[in-house]
Amino acid sequence: KNEVEQSPQNLTAQEGEFITINCSYSVGISALHWLQQHPGGGIVSLFMLSSGKKKHGRLIATINIQEKHSSLHITASHPRDSAVYICAVSNNDMRFGAGTRLTVKP
């Protein structure tokens, strides 16, 4: 079993839909990160959080430390949100989930 599990693996949505991507982890962490990777592109750090909730534009990330679970929400999704979203946890090193491939159709 991977230390960082994401679901779903693949997600297709219609433009405007509310999207949720989940991440569960089984190790102790200092922080949890949500990253975005466009096809063939680099990696952008979206959020780093260790408790509670953070919001940036249409993106919201939450974490429940007791349940070892985090969610990334995208409101009013748009085709340009299509990317792979990666959950990662850090303590002494960084462990990555396998990623969720999101496709938003117009």
Partner 1 sequence: NAGVMQNPRHLVRRRGQEARLRCSPMKGHSHVYWYRQLPEEGLKFMVYLQKENIIDESGMPKERFSAEFPKEGPSILRIQQVVRGDSAAYFCASSPPGDRANEQFFGPGTRLTVL
Please pick, from the candidates 11, 19, 21, 35, the single residue that binds partner 1 as defined by CB under 8 A.
35
What would the x/- binding string for partner 1 be over residues 65 to 94, using CB under 8 A? ---------------------x-x-xxxxx
Phi and psi at 79, nearest 5°, equal -55, -30
Please pick, from the candidates 12, 43, 79, 105, the single residue that binds partner 1 as defined by CB under 8 A.
43
Which lies closer to partner 1 via its Cβ, residue 26 or residue 91? Answer: 91
| Binding flag, residue 48, partner 1 (CB under 8 A) | yes
Which residues in this chain contact partner 1 in the complex, by CB under 8 A? 30-31, 33, 35, 41-45, 48, 86, 88, 90-99
